[in-house]
Amino acid sequence: MNKIITFLLLHITLLQTKQSLCDNEPLILSYYKETCPLLEEIVHRQVEIAVLKEPRMAASLLRLHFHDCFVLGCDGSVLLDDFEGVESEKKAGPNLNSLRGFEVIDEIKYLVEEACPCTVSCADLLAIVARDAVSLRGGPKWNVYLGRRDSIKASLNGANQFLPAPNSSLESLIANFQSQGLGIQELVALSGSHTMGKAKCKSFRQRIYNYKDSVSTSYNHHPKDDEFQEVLKSICPTSGRDNALAPLDFVTPLRFDNNYFHNVKNGHGLLISDNVLVYDDLEGEIRDLVWAFALDEEHFFGSFARSMIKMGNIRVLTGKEGEIRKNCRFINM
């Protein structure tokens, strides 16, 4: 009798395991080919309109995908508003009055729902939008693998804990990326997204004023940095003007290119987290990548595209997990 029970339990376990494997379907390129054939055309057109209207929006839309994937995985949780037990990630320190582009996603979702009701996830929309935002600003275009489903929860605590801060040390950046399954290559390549967009004064004030004369913060003592420091001080005084904006790349702020890495080489990274890539790297592996991307834009573009695909696979929900939200701001009722 015991042997029969053991056999039955083992059989049930195997069936459950098989079902679990079926639920976790891989992302694929042609996921919506039959169910929503106009998806890519709709998304590209709306992103193009948004970026032409406001070029800075390209960086904001790319950032939405980052901030989604680093909290709970690429599941659209960053888009959720407060609602009946759901505490929005939008209220987290790194996101509050900082993340932008939600209305663009709302408009895209509305049009996609009209074309293909209850078919395309908000998480997949974020991935496609990020790719198109980059390519429309002169950056690479990559294959976006699809089939993600949307989370029915958000994590305010996770958003406060796992999103990299603008004053992060190199050690904390490496640990943060490793916690997402991303390595040195992805850290440096994805940091290159700072080749476009802007940051608020409160994000780079510490980079100007609050530092100690030590090896770990020697990025503030680059021989070419004095003039740049004066420019930053004119934008961001020691107090006040917290929301004053400065471009992350002063040279080509509206274009996705490899100029970010030239800036970092010259001590002209806007954020502490930019400059530590060179001046906190004692072993030189990260510095070598910065130099390589600065020398060869195509090399950077290829690495960035591969890193975006890898990031887009972080803890995705597939199969019967999660849901396809009708409205990206709220779970289905």
The residues carrying an active-site annotation are: 67
Query: For residue 209, how far is the Cα from the chain centroid?
Result: 28
| Tokens 């940095």 found at | 225
What are the C-alpha distances in Å from 305 to residues 19, 121, 128, 239?
32, 22, 12, 39
CB neighbour list of residue 46: distance below 8 Å, 6 or more residues apart: 104, 107, 108, 111
Nearest to 79, CA basis, from 68, 71, 87: 68
Amino acid at the residue 208:
I
- Intra-chain end-to-end CA distance of the chain, in Å: 46
How far is residue 265's CA from residue 145's CA, in Å, rounded to a whole number? 34
How far is residue 88's CA from residue 82's CA, in Å, rounded to a whole number? 5
What are the tokens at 194? 């700072």
Residue 216 is given by DSSP the state G
